[in-house]
Amino acid sequence: MKLLRYGPEGQEKPGLLDGEGKIRDLSGHVADISDDALTPEGLAKLAAIDVASLPVVEGSPRLGACVGHVRKFIAIGLNYADHAAESGMPVPAEPVVFNKWTSCIVGPNDDVVIPEGSTKTDWEVELGIVIGKTARKVSEAEALDHVAGYCVINDVSEREWQLERGQTWDKGKGFDTFGPIGPWLVTSDEVADAGNLSMWLEVDGKRYQDGSTKTMIFGVAKLIAYCSRLMTLMPGDVITTGTPPGVGMGQNPQVFLKGGETIRLGIEGLGEQTQKVRRA
């Protein structure tokens, strides 16, 4: 299934994308794409619905983040060796874990807003993991049983605040609008191998990132198992898994967002995002 949330900000309704690319309304069956709806039992109930019986949503409504009520937005840094190299940082021996504040989450096509005074706002296409089953100290062998699905994430980053203002990465990662998620959550049964998906990102039509999740240092199962040792993962928690090379910071000379650009990004089988960039 491709699950989504649509409607005005703060008033999103649950839906799914049918085989013809039409949005179908799920609000008669579930309150939101969150919490219990993401558990194995909740997803089984949604999968049993006759899609043809669901109302078609007319027009082209705004898409919200494909997951509601995200308790934790966990991010993994330097998870591609070639991205670590372009960042001038060593390949990590263990996953680098930091937070993106949940208040940064927006829809996949909402504007990205450059913070006041920023001169180093950057982009990062990433694979998102959506947790569907409580995970506490799980093994790698068990880890994938705890996944509801996957999605596209743009881990927007302000590099000065991330790297030059006290070495606390969280500072540069959680500004408002820095977490576009979606367009939809693709349930894990429809993703044959999350560790082998092509991914790309363009700014104003120029392709900067063109990679694959197969070059991740730490794969999906490893990341879930590792994070579940640090915290209890709960349904609706999101882990964004790192980015391949091609970020603005890695260009020579460096390229950062100034406002007025259009960002397009996508991951094989998981859909695409488009964001307009504007200054605060």
What's residue 163's pLDDT?
93
What's residue 266's pLDDT?
98
Q: Is the peptide bond before 180 cis (omega within 30 degrees of 0)?
A: no
What's residue 108's pLDDT?
98
Confidence band, pLDDT 50/70/90 cuts, at residue 178: very high
In this structure, are residues 38 and 30 in contact, taking their beta carbons and an 8 Å threshold? no
pLDDT (mean) for 207-227: 97
What are 73-115's pLDDT values in tens digits? 999 999 998 787 787 878 889 999 999 999 999 999 999 999 9
In this structure, are residues 249 and 274 in contact, taking their beta carbons and an 8 Å threshold? no
Q: For the chain, where are the alpha helices, taking DSSP H only? A: 40-47, 81-86, 140-143, 159-163, 170-173, 220-230
What's residue 84's pLDDT?
77
pLDDT (mean) for 250-274: 97
What's residue 176's pLDDT?
98
**Spatial separation of the C-alpha atoms in residues 264 and 278, rounded to whole Å:** 15
What's residue 87's pLDDT?
78
Tokens 């640090």, residue located: 230
**How much of the chain exceeds pLDDT 70, in percent?**
100
What are 229-243's pLDDT values in tens digits? 999 999 999 999 999
Mean pLDDT, rounded, of the chain: 96
Domain(s) of CATH 3.90.850.10: residues in the chain: 73-279
Q: Which two tokens stand for residue 150?
A: 């996957």
What's residue 54's pLDDT?
98
Confidence band, pLDDT 50/70/90 cuts, at residue 168: confident
207 forms beta bridges with: 202
Domain 73-279 -> CATH class? alpha beta
In this structure, are residues 155 and 170 in contact, taking their beta carbons and an 8 Å threshold? no
What are 4-59's pLDDT values in tens digits? 999 999 999 999 999 999 999 999 999 999 999 999 999 999 999 999 999 999 99
What's residue 201's pLDDT?
98
In this structure, are residues 120 and 91 in contact, taking their beta carbons and an 8 Å threshold? no
Cβ neighbors of 65 (< 8 A, separation 6 or more) are 5, 12, 105, 106, 107, 108, 179, 180, 181, 182
pLDDT (mean) for 103-129: 98
